Structure 1
Amino acid sequence: MTRTYWAAGTAVGLALLFAVGATVATAGGADSAPASSRTPGLYSADAGFARDMAVHHQQAVEMSFIVRDRTKDEPVRVLAYDIANTQANQRGMLLGWLDMWGLPKVVADEPPMSWMGTDGSGHGGTAGHSMGGGAGVVTKPGALMPGMATKEDLARLGSAEGREAEVLYLRLMTDHHKGGVAMAEGCAAQCANPAERALAQGMADAQQSELQLMADMLKQRGAEPPAAG
């Protein structure tokens, strides 16, 4: 399981190195800084991804803490701890970039995922909750973004115990990761900041590995993965 998180850890290290370089370049003056290290626009892919993925990650952390209290199964508890720890750290980086860029963490007139339909330089777009190129990733009624659980899903997880909690968590997190991978791949393709692109690609790679791990864990428990779409 340690190998599962190697890509995420590497991406965090690269992102930190790029962030230091961007800060130094910015300190040298706006004219001397390369375009990739300049402050992103309010509605850019860089800023939109940081805002949306911070929210997306927060729910993964919440679900992971819930299931750790609902089962004694060690493999599920270890997976939940690793997801919570990894995504909490990544969320901190995303929010830290927004602070460094002087951009708000919430924009009232920005629909979730609208940045997926932009070229990284403007406001708008039509991808919205369809996730652009994220085939098969949809937003459930009552959920904020693709892959995210509803309040009812969280309530069910909070009341389940043992194998029922394990299976429900693995299914909910499978959908959650599919949405997260599509978002991360969108940033890897659209974001201008090299540190953010590196982090996004690391997220996508690590979560793809976790998707296979969770499929195996569901199979071990005699359960099917969530239906696609």
Structure 2
Amino acid sequence: MTLTITRTHWAAVTAVVLALLFAGAATVASARGEAPTTTAAAPGPDSAEAGFARDMSVHHQQAVEMSFIVRDRTQDEGIRSLAYDIANTQANQRGMMLGWLDLWGLPKVRSGTEPMAWMNNGESGGHGGHGGGHGGHQVRDGSLMPGMATKTELAQLAKADGKQAEILYLQLMTDHHIGGVAMAQGCVDLCTVEAEKTLAQDMVDGQNSELELMADLLKKRGAKPRS
């Protein structure tokens, strides 16, 4: 019992520390002239740039959470390594996006705006073979955007062990990446700030590569993606 509490606290604290560290680094880099734009030319609150930064930060946070959960539920080094890479990469990217919002003087959370509404401001319908836009997505049980796991699914992952936890994680993260790729492609199509477009394209490329890896890992476990 003590070990479980310690691991849970470690996961939560580490995730928060990573996000804060990378957010701080992004803000410092922005102040040094490495930011995607200056405050004077900052995107507006309804822009694709701001919407993507806000929504993808939320999307990424859940990926970090799921990755820390599975690291405590399996001893398989391949899955643990993948989970660490995903958590590290997405915490880093999340920090950059939150840093940009700070630089632009925009809120990280905006009430009264539906998730991914910014994608309707342009012609960014379907994207790639891993899923299209967010049309028809129902916000339910903690799943705010396409690909996001529900609270029930997160609870199931936290209770699973070994191979069962590995398969569920890979399936949930596959869905998560499919939704993430579609959203990132939306920024590639709609965002005008070059640094943010580049980051979004990196997400598309990186997560598509991880989708192939996760499909192979599922196959080795006698399972397959849910979608």
Please tell me the TM-score bracket, short chain as reference. Answer: 0.7 to 0.9
- Aligned partners of 1:105 and 1:210: how far apart in 2? 28
Contact 2:132–2:182 at 8 Å: present in 1 too? no
Q: 1:182 to 1:25 in 2, by over 3 A?
A: closer
**TM-score normalised to structure 1 length:** 0.78
The structure 2 residue matched to 1:78, chosen from 56, 78, 81, is: 81
Contact 2:133–2:183 at 8 Å: present in 1 too? no
Q: 1:195 to 1:74 in 2, by over 3 A?
A: same
Contact 2:36–2:193 at 8 Å: present in 1 too? no
> Is 1:102 aligned to residue 105 of structure 2?
yes
Counterpart residue identity of residue 215, structure 2:
A
Contact 1:137–1:178 at 8 Å: present in 2 too? no
2:47 corresponding residue in structure 1 = 44
Deviations 1:82-121 (CA, angstroms, capped at 9, x unpaired): 00000000000000000000000011011001000013xx
- Aligned partners of 2:125 and 2:36: how far apart in 1? 34
- Aligned partners of 2:36 and 2:218: how far apart in 1? 47
Deviation at 1:192, TM superposition (A): 1.2
The structure 2 residue matched to 1:57, chosen from 55, 60, 63, is: 60
2:149 corresponding residue in structure 1 = 149
Q: 1:181 to 1:23 in 2, by over 3 A?
A: closer
Structure 1 gap ranges (5+)? 1-14, 31-37, 120-126
- Aligned partners of 1:200 and 1:223: how far apart in 2? 30
- Give % identity: 63
Q: 1:160 to 1:26 in 2, by over 3 A?
A: closer
Contact 2:38–2:103 at 8 Å: present in 1 too? no
- Aligned partners of 1:47 and 1:81: how far apart in 2? 28
Contact 1:137–1:147 at 8 Å: present in 2 too? no
Contact 2:44–2:50 at 8 Å: present in 1 too? yes
Q: 1:24 to 1:40 in 2, by over 3 A?
A: closer
2:15 corresponding residue in structure 1 = none
Structure 2 gap ranges (5+)? 1-25
| Superposed structure 1 runs of 4+ greater than 2 Å apart | 18-27, 134-142
- Aligned partners of 1:160 and 1:179: how far apart in 2? 24
Contact 1:113–1:145 at 8 Å: present in 2 too? yes
Contact 1:46–1:192 at 8 Å: present in 2 too? yes
Q: 1:23 to 1:186 in 2, by over 3 A?
A: closer
Counterpart residue identity of residue 132, structure 1:
G
Deviation at 1:133, TM superposition (A): 1.8
- Aligned partners of 1:177 and 1:97: how far apart in 2? 23
- Aligned partners of 2:126 and 2:36: how far apart in 1? 35
**TM-score normalised to structure 2 length:** 0.79
- Aligned partners of 1:24 and 1:224: how far apart in 2? 39
Deviation at 1:132, TM superposition (A): 3.3
Contact 2:191–2:197 at 8 Å: present in 1 too? yes
- Structure ranking higher on relative contact order (CA contacts 8 Å, 6+ apart): 1
Count residues with an aligned counterpart. 193
